[in-house]
Structure 1
Amino acid sequence: MVRHVPRMQVVHDGPENASPLLLIHGSGASGATWAPMVGTLAGRHHVLRVDLPGCGQSSPAPTYDVPDQAAAIAALLDDLALRNVPVAGHSSGGWVAIALADKRPDLVGSLVLISTATGLDAQQPQPFILRALLAPPFGPLLWPLRSDSMIRKGIGATTARPVEIPDDAIADLKNITYRTFRKVLRCNGAYVAERSTPDRLADLDVPVLVIFGAADPRYYPESARQYEAVPNTRLEMLPGVGHIPMLEAPEATSELLLGFTAAAADSPTS
């Protein structure tokens, strides 16, 4: 079932009377990247998968600043009359989740950050295919020519093992323009450059689970250890997993997420 709010698409899975769970994708992706986990998650939750503004099936926005992306999600949750929702974000989607918890703590019951970088200094040297697609001078020329196989190769460069990529995720990636993608990347980078992820989390009064691939080729896995110093935050490293645990280890990632959201919901402080 698909519903629309201004500028944003959300796909609902699972019983509507179950406790909600919001999933936020990373830069330029879409809610389709969560597909391998949805069946398991929807067994316990009413799962909401959003396409952020300018991504997937959602309309472009005037600005892609992280707080503005979070405001769009806040408007969605207000429209649905939802409060105290567990929120999971992948990669830069974790920064959007943090901004949501910061500005609207009434909306967020707990946070799960999957492959969310601690800061720009955690980024590893990027594979050639990503540099060619995402940056001038080749990016603007290659972007309109992207084939399914090229996109799959680009995604595969961020994983530590071969993965099956949902066709919907490929189609959604084709929908985002090069100009929009660059704007999203700049705004996300500016957000974390202003203040590190652990520093932002330290100001929040919300339980946090960080899931990080121990073989992430996009961000140095050892950088995730910085999360261990953040109060109310638990770190789980997944052996042999790269930057996209939802595709590489959906069962293990779902198990961690469900266990955490259940424990957070049962906590007397939640």
Structure 2
Amino acid sequence: MSSIATSLGRIGLSTSGSGGMPLLFLHGVGSDRSAWDRQLERFGGERLAIAIDNPGYGDSGFIVGADRGCYADAAVAVLDALGIDRAHVCGLSLGGVVAIAMANRAPERIASLVLADTFAVHPEGQAIHDRSLAGAREHGMAGLAEARADALLAQPADPAVRAEVIATMSRIDPAAYALGAAAVWLADQRAEVAAIEAPTLILCGSEDRVTPPALSDALKTLIPHAGLIEIAGAGHLPNMEQPAIFNRVLAAFLSDVDENL
């Protein structure tokens, strides 16, 4: 299945497995649902694992003016279309921002949250947003991808992962990218984060230069009950750079939460 009809239009998705408490993956601003292929393969063996495209990305329809609230509503609409009442939600970067919005707008749908390489508010968000859009206008998405890849990944990067990151970013619709960039970099969800009650795990690559570990520490301060784990040898995309470690940490967290549901 490459997409599903929802109340917000068609949303691109990939699924693996069945049963158990479902696990929903949300991608970053320079990516699409394919970033989670390594996780779908791993977690589809024990539960229904789902990765979706934000509106305007991948196989999802474009929504004029889409923001993080719209992305969160689209994720909930996918759960509705699949007949899922609750799910674990794992979001990276923009996906984490969207997961926080989901927890604020529909807390009853959240079994747990995994917030990877993300933040409540980024102190350099406006500057990153402005540079990102300027780079996309000047160089196109392929040029931006080539310029950004090394900053996203711990060095020396795996050449295959680097090539995958560039290829994925290069195919993003620039208009959708502009909306996604505003949704993530201009976010200030400190109040929403402080209200989170769901079991929460915060993850961060130890060498993340885009959302450094200090921002995960700040999230931990706002969500005192959350766990916090740094993934060694990873930058901004630990699920791709260190998938075995990422998957092992995520599996242990989900197992603990499932035992207490």
Say whether the fold is shared (TM-score over 0.5): yes
TM-score interval, smaller chain:
0.7 to 0.9
Indicate conservation of the 8 Å contact 1:85/1:108, yes or no: yes
Alpha-carbon shift at residue 152 of structure 1 (Å): 5.1
Partner of 2:58: 56
The match for 1:160 among 154, 161, 164 is: 154
Indicate conservation of the 8 Å contact 1:22/1:47, yes or no: yes
Identity, % of aligned positions: 24
Letter in 2 for 1:223: L
Partner of 2:193: 201
Letter in 2 for 1:165: V
1:151-190 aligned at under 5 Å gives the runs 151=145, 154-161=148-155, 162-163=157-158, 164-165=160-161, 170-190=166-186
Aligned partners of 2:77, 2:40: CA distance in 1, in Å?
23
Aligned partners of 2:11, 2:165: CA distance in 1, in Å?
16
Deviates more, 1:154-163 or 1:103-112: 154-163
Alpha-carbon shift at residue 190 of structure 1 (Å): 3.2
Unaligned runs of 5+ in 1: none
Partner of 1:140: 137
Aligned residues: 255
Aligned partners of 2:195, 2:41: CA distance in 1, in Å?
34
Alpha-carbon shift at residue 19 of structure 1 (Å): 3.1
Partner of 2:216: 224
TM-score normalised to structure 2 length: 0.87
Letter in 2 for 1:82: I
Unaligned runs of 5+ in 2: none
Residues 21-52 of structure 1, C-alpha deviations (whole Å, 9 max, x = no match) = 10000113101111223222222221101011
Asked whether 1:213 is paired with 2:205, we answer yes
Aligned partners of 1:122, 1:253: CA distance in 2, in Å?
26
Deviates more, 1:113-122 or 1:160-169: 160-169
Aligned partners of 1:108, 1:3: CA distance in 2, in Å?
22
Aligned partners of 1:62, 1:151: CA distance in 2, in Å?
24
Change (3 A) 1:228 1:28: closer
TM-score normalised to structure 1 length: 0.84
Instruction: Tell me the secondary structure at the aligned position of residue 216 of structure 1.
Output: coil
Change (3 A) 1:167 1:13: farther
Deviates more, 1:31-40 or 1:245-254: 31-40
Change (3 A) 1:215 1:122: farther
Asked whether 1:9 is paired with 2:12, we answer yes
Superposition RMSD in Å: 2.6
Letter in 1 for 2:153: T
Instruction: Tell me the secondary structure at the aligned position of residue 63 of structure 1.
Output: coil
Alpha-carbon shift at residue 58 of structure 1 (Å): 1.3
Alpha-carbon shift at residue 205 of structure 1 (Å): 1.7
Indicate conservation of the 8 Å contact 1:94/1:113, yes or no: yes
Letter in 1 for 2:248: E
Change (3 A) 1:157 1:105: same
Indicate conservation of the 8 Å contact 1:7/1:60, yes or no: no
